[in-house]
A and B are shown apart, each in its own frame.
Chain A
């Protein structure tokens, strides 16, 4: 079965300091992995995705994530937090098998707070 575990429900950082949001996955197949961001009362926005190409994935707004198969992890990082980064972040795994439609399985989310 496919699943995603986000290890922290809340993360608080100071503006200008690094961000680390942790995600571990479980998948019997070659997964595709994503990070989405959700600002209050807004739709989900794709930050970045891994689909079996380069293991270090760069996304929008300075975010990046590294796929580590040996650790089954896909942690999201950013060198320097900005106030506008405060939002809910979801780690997502997708898989397809036998031509079945890709399904997205969402983690429980990490709420990132950025302190001035």
Chain B
């Protein structure tokens, strides 16, 4: 149980185009989903926290108008990289927090989406 999927697993796009990445919790409902970015040989950096039905909370330095997050349901969050540029090329990883009353809410991670912007 507690499986998180991401789609697509990899994408190549031209500079200036927009790319949408989906994150789904397949067998549980997630109150909160998180989006991370991982540059080559570096650690994961939290970009934003997404709560179902409300606006995402972005970390300092992350442009909310560039990285649009929509969390329309308890099982789906999307990240849209608008007007992508080569410096946006990275590995984007989402996680979903399992809603279990009274128990520490563990995060489950998706397999990641590798974005390459030409």
A interface list, Cβ under 8 A from B: 32, 36, 41-46, 49, 51, 90, 101-109
Main DSSP-derived SS at the A contact region? strand
Find A43's partner among B42, B43, B105, B110 (CB 8 Å cutoff).
B110
Number of A-B contacts (CB under 8 A): 46
| Pair A102/B105 contact, Cβ less than 8 Å | yes
Contact residue range for chain B? 20 to 34
Complex CA gap A16/B107 in Å reads 32
List residues of chain B with CB within 8 A of the CB of A49: 104, 106
| Pair A108/B109 contact, Cβ less than 8 Å | no
Find A108's partner among B43, B105, B107 (CB 8 Å cutoff).
B43
| Pair B43/A107 contact, Cβ less than 8 Å | yes
| Pair B32/A101 contact, Cβ less than 8 Å | yes
List residues of chain A with CB within 8 A of the CB of B32: 101
